Each structure stands twice: as C-alpha cells, then as structure tokens.
Amino acid sequence: MRTYRLVIACPDRVGIVAKVSNFLASYNGWITEASHHSDSQSGWFFMRHEIRADTLPFGIEAFREAFAPIAEAFSMVWRITDTDQKKRVVLMASRESHCLADLLHRWHSNELDCDIPCVISNHNDLRSMVEWHGIPFFHVPVDPKDKQPAFAEVSRLVKEHTADVVVLARYMQILPPDLCQEYAQQVINIHHSFLPSFVGAKPYHQASLRGVKLIGATCHYVTEELDAGPIIEQDVVRVSHSDSIDDMVRFGRDVEKMVLARGLRYHLEDRVLVHGNKTVVFN
C-alpha cells in the first residue's frame, strides 16, 4: 500500500499533535501508523506519521504546499516522503564480504525497499558477487600517499548515480571531511564495536585485551569525527575468557550484519530523526 511518511521535529509545546491530526483529518487522510516522542532534556518533540496516499485529494507537492503554514507556525524541521519513490542506496565495501553479501541478499529477496544503482570498492575482490546480482561494480583504488583523487571519483560516482544514501558496508577507509559535510546524515557506517568503546582499528583485539564479556556492533551516521556520529542501532553478543580473537571476529560478523541491516531499514523507512548528535528511532 502506497503511503506518505510525514516526519517532524520541533520545539515542544501544546497542540502539535492536534494541529497535525486536524490537518490530515480535514483532507480525509487515513493515518496507518503514528509515533510521538517528547524529549524533556532538549525540549523538542518528534513525530512520524504514515498516511495512506489514496485517501488524500492531492499529491506530495500539493501536500508540502498545504502543510507549510503549519510547519512555519510551529518552527518544524520536517519532511514528507512517498513510498512509491524508492531511495537509491550506493554500497561501498573493501575486501570483507559479510555485510555487503547480507545487504545484497536482502535486496535480492525484496526485504529492503530500495534501489542499488552501484557498488564502489577500493579492491576488486567482491566484483563477481556484486555483478551476479546485476549491479554495476566500480573499482576505485585508494593510494595511501594521495587519497584525494580516489575520493573525488567516489564523489563523482555518488552524484552520477543520484544516491539518497551511501552505506559503508565494511569500507575500510576514512572519508575526508568535505565528503562527510556534503553528505551529512546520508552516509551510514557499520563499526565492529559497541561504541563509544574501542573506536578505530582492530576493536576485537582491543576488546580481547580488555577482557570484556560483551562485544557488539554499531550502525551510525558518518561525521568528521571518527566513529562518533549519531547512533542508529546497536547490538551485542556475550563472550568469555575462553574465546579467542578469531572467535570474537566470527561472533561479531553476525552482529554486524544484523545491526547494519536494521539501521539501513530504519533509515529507508524514515524512522530516524537526528537531533544534535543523538537520534530518535521509531522502530
């Protein structure tokens, strides 16, 4: 069923829900899902509504025009999306295949409602797997001595394929600050650690040395600060003193796949609202 997703964040006050609900009711809008959250610390209110598109007398552009005065009156940061317009997801990976393979399988099985126009990698190892799915594969090697040309090509490819979101499915390169700024809240990363613990490289090695009993994975938006962007989703698995680093890596891969898939799904379904460096996720 085709729906519109109305997502709102604004300073909290009395009457927000009533105003939005009355607006939708006045046009016979049928709400199929409604989520609200009032954050007492920040004083902000967050809302997500799904509305049956076939119950409204107008399309999405007319919706934007009709709703704009309400948004202005309540100082709303808002968006309305159409489920008929699939988001375009560019995937990026290096040599490890587990996260990329999982996302490709979910897309191939129609579990992820999106288009994947291409995959970009700094190695050629995963080409055959990607092309088996009928998806273009672009090899963009990164010279450690001069990374700028590679990232200029990455930026060109992302623009050429009109990506709505870029997913770093174990892409083992740090994006430059200009790319992070240009695609703020549009680049999703999976980090193989329960952040903020064990940032950077080899977190399983760090976890083993620390003797932790839980390891995990974190799906987050990419910012200029390494592994410090707004967190979308996390999960953990229990380990013990008898588990080797290889065991931790093996356990961790399963968690990484699940966390990244859930985080991407929440983003595709407009369930994530970012406020500062925190998120509200209506899951």
Residue numbers annotated as active site: 227
Rounded CA separation 62/76 (Å)? 18
Rounded CA separation 11/243 (Å)? 48
Which structure tokens are listed for 254? 């399963």
Rounded CA separation 97/260 (Å)? 13
At which residue do the structure tokens 């065991």 appear?
247
Which structure tokens are listed for 162? 């009109």
Which structure tokens are listed for 35? 């989520």
Q: What residues contact residue 147 under an 8 Å CB cut-off, 6+ apart?
A: 173, 176
Q: Which of 45, 80, 75, 43 is nearest to 60 (CA)?
A: 80
In eight-state DSSP terms, residue 115 is E
Rounded CA separation 2/114 (Å)? 14
